[in-house]
């Protein structure tokens, strides 16, 4: 269902006008580099609302000084073609001044859940994400917003932000979309060399093996140690943690859902992945 009338807008006032045309609105924020994972978010959004808006904005606030803001894939023509092909109603691609008229707020606070796991290596990251999502929510004023489970910690931080600020927006998540060999689809996969691309799926297969051993009743601490050793043969590990999926804290007798969360470096490319399952 190609939408040849897909609206492309870049200002807050145009968005206000489009928004005012009514109906239930679902929002999918992206930084572009659109791939099948994003299209799955759009598909879920389409089921939940009358109209779907996707934003394309490479958010400077979530990149650290030595990170890939300049290199981040900007593939606007291809993105627009894919989004129109998926039947998206509107693409919002604001200018940085539109999003941050008063500049980026370095002190934007997301609390503890933004400081663990990815937040340890990328201390600026979740403040930047929460800040841009808060701002985009204020401009788009969606009823529903959809995020990928691939970025599980991001999803949790956004849910907490929505709760803390009492925003009337339903946050939905869509399952991680994978290549046929298991690698979680990500815009940054294009940084991998052919050789690294062959190695990358080992990450998911080892996390899945860990999940199977946990379900078989093995000791989580020992199993995690073994998986870390196995991963080290292929990657430089940033973190590997097995936590309560609802709280992102240590597993207790009350844990109903377990999260295996991992970030590794393959060369200079950082890959993240997770598996969430009933414990
Ligand atoms: O997941 C992403 O692509 C980004 O972190 C998001 C949510 C669009 C905010 O810039």
Q: In angstroms, rounded to a whole number, what is the distance separating the alpha carbons of residues 261 and 239? A: 8
The HSE-up count of residue 159 (CA atoms within 13 Å, CB side) is: 17
Q: In this structure, which topology does domain 7-174 adopt according to CATH?
A: Rossmann fold (3.40.50)
Is 4:84 a contact under the CB 8 Å cutoff? Answer: yes
Cβ(132) – ligand 1 distance below 6 Å: yes
* Catalytic machinery residues: 38
Cβ(118) – ligand 1 distance below 6 Å: no
**Structure confidence at residue 67 (pLDDT):** 96
Residues 6+ apart with CB under 8 A from 216: none
pLDDT tens track for 123-158 = 999 999 999 999 999 999 999 999 999 999 999 999
Residue boundaries of the structural domains of the chain: 7-174, 187-272
CA triplet 195, 269, 34: central angle to 5 degrees?
95
Q: Which of 151, 184, 185 to mutate to test the pocket of ligand 1 (most atoms within 8 A of CB)?
A: 151
pLDDT tens track for 82-137 = 999 999 999 999 999 999 999 988 777 788 889 999 999 999 999 999 999 999 99
**Structure confidence at residue 262 (pLDDT):** 98
User: With a threshold of 0.95, does the pTM exceed it?
Assistant: yes
pLDDT-derived band of residue 219, with 50, 70 and 90 as boundaries?
Answer: very high
**Structure confidence at residue 107 (pLDDT):** 74
SS3 content of the chain, % helix, strand, coil (to 5): 40, 20, 40
Q: In this structure, which topology does domain 187-272 adopt according to CATH?
A: 3.30.1300
**Structure confidence at residue 111 (pLDDT):** 83
Mean pLDDT across 75-85: 98
Give the atom of ligand 1 at the shortest distance from the alpha carbon of 29. 8
Calculate the average pLDDT of the chain. 96
């Amino acid at each position: 269902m190609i939408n040849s009338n897909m609206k492309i807008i870049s200002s807050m006032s145009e968005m206000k006008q489009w928004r005012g045309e009514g109906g239930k609105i679902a929002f999918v924020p992206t930084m572009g580099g659109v791939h099948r994972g994003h299209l799955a978010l759009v598909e879920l959004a389409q089921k939940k609302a009358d109209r779907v808006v996707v934003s394309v904005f490479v958010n400077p606030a979530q990149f650290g000084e030595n990170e890939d803001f300049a290199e981040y894939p900007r593939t606007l023509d291809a993105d627009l073609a894919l989004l129109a092909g998926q039947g998206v109603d509107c693409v919002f691609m604001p200018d940085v001044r539109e999003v941050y008229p008063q500049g980026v707020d370095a002190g934007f606070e997301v609390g503890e859940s933004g400081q663990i796991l990815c937040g340890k290596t990328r201390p600026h990251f979740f403040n930047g994400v929460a800040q841009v999502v808060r701002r985009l929510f204020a401009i788009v004023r969606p009823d529903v917003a959809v995020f990928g489970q691939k970025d599980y910690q991001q999803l949790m931080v956004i849910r907490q932000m929505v709760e803390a600020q009492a925003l009337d927006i339903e946050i939905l998540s869509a399952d991680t979309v994978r290549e046929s060999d298991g690698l979680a689809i990500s815009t940054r996969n294009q940084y991998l060399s052919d050789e690294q691309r062959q190695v990358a799926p080992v990450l998911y297969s080892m996390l899945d093996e860990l999940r199977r051993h946990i379900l078989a009743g093995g000791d989580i601490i020992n199993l995690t140690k073994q998986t870390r050793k196995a991963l080290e043969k292929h990657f430089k590990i940033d973190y590997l943690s097995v936590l309560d999926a609802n709280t992102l804290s240590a597993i207790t007798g009350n844990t109903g859902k377990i999260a295996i969360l991992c970030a590794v470096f393959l060369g200079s490319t950082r890959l993240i992945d997770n598996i969430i399952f009933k414990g």
